[in-house]
């Protein structure tokens, strides 16, 4: 195993989602086609794919957490951009704090503050 490479979010409107994710992750896509939009987020791939049948009713069995320095600030910034709260910032032991939001298409985006994790 080489580690996580790509997280893909399925969206009903890829053009609206491209703008939303550009604002949310403060990054422009490096790959931009109708079938896939790809962002490089600190060396990790965030991908958007259009859904054949758009739905906001998504499975909640897996959460990918994106590392942040200021979890409260980022959590609130995502909410200001139109995300909805999934799980408020919660200390899960030591200095680790996790939170999650749902994007406008119902995808869960996890946020984590973990000062002990090093690449």
**What is the sign, positive or negative, of the torsion defined by CA atoms of 64, 18, 86, 98?**
positive
- What pLDDT sits at residue 90? 98
Place of tokens 């995808």: 107
- What pLDDT sits at residue 16? 97
Ranges of each domain in the chain: 1-51, 63-119
Distance CA 23, CA 29 (A): 11
- What pLDDT sits at residue 2? 83
pLDDT beneath 50: ranges in the chain: none
Of 10, 31, 94, 26, nearest in space to 66 by CA: 26
- What pLDDT sits at residue 49? 98
Topology classification of domain 63-119: 2,3-Dihydroxybiphenyl 1,2-Dioxygenase; domain 1 (3.10.180)
Model pTM score: 0.93
Dig out the tokens for 72 from the structure. Answer: 């409260």
Topology classification of domain 1-51: 3.30.720
């Amino acid at each position: 195993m080489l580690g996580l490479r790509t997280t893909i979010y399925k969206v009903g409107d890829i053009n609206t989602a491209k703008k939303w994710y550009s604002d949310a992750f403060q990054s422009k896509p490096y790959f931009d086609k109708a079938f896939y939009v790809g962002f490089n987020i600190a060396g990790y791939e965030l991908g958007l794919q259009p859904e054949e049948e758009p739905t906001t009713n998504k499975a909640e069995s897996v959460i990918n957490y994106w590392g942040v320095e200021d979890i409260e600030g980022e959590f609130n910034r995502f909410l200001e951009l139109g995300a909805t709260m999934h799980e408020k910032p919660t200390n899960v032991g030591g200095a680790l704090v996790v939170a999650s939001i749902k994007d406008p298409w119902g995808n869960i985006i996890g946020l984590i503050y973990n000062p002990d994790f090093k690449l």
